[in-house]
Amino acid sequence: MDPRNELIAVDQLLAGKSFTYSVDWFRYVVLNDPSWDPATYNSSLAILADELNPFDIRTFPSALPAFKARGGKMITYHGGQDNQISCLNSDRFWTRMHVQDTQPQDYYRLFRISGMFHCGSGPGAWSFGQTNAALSAALPFDPLHNVVAAVITWVEDGEAPSCLRGTKFVNDTVALGVDFQRDHCLFPAIQTYFGGDYKSPSSWKCL
């Protein structure tokens, strides 16, 4: 579990509730049994799901040589307070790729977003063009402030992103203005707090 994700996870995972999407996946796809009880889940079911690999959904390769060879570019991001899928899973994925290719950043870049819940929201500077249309529209459409612009620029101009600048609007409302911004580090660098005003960019460094 990610540090501080209990702010949201307490309503589901930490309350003993299964992840809804996972329950439905096993009921309707893996087992074809709408009455399946997630309390009976065990490692043998995990093995079964991996062996069946329905719809070729497995997404944990050790390398992407064909993708790299054709010039593919991929940017992923993960909230540091994700309450559903630990951001450590993205760390695992990047590290697994790195074992096979010591230069994965040539085509694949990962950004850990401090203070972001699952895909968006949270106390951090979590808005960078990825989910909320109203918040995204209030940000410049450029590689620094918008992840879509970042991947477009990388593909079309060959300029890879070195950081993503997240924005936190007051109460997540554009009309109330910007609360603070923060530059999110290119993994494996870690965003590190050095003291002072946590809203000030100078209080943070990528190490």
| CB half-sphere exposure, 47, CA atoms < 13 A | 3
Report how far residue 7's alpha carbon sits from residue 127's, in angstroms, rounded to the nearest whole number.
Answer: 19
SS3 letters across 89-122: HHHHHHHHHHHHCCCHHHCEEEEEECCCCCCCCC
Q: For residue 188, give the 3-state DSSP assignment.
A: coil
* DSSP summary character for residue 132: -
Would the pTM count as exceeding 0.95? no
pLDDT tens per residue across all 207 residues of the chain: 777 788 788 877 788 888 888 999 999 999 999 999 999 999 999 999 999 999 998 888 888 999 999 999 999 999 999 988 889 999 999 999 999 999 999 999 999 999 999 999 999 999 999 988 999 999 999 999 999 999 999 999 999 999 999 999 999 999 999 999 999 999 999 999 999 998 998 899 999
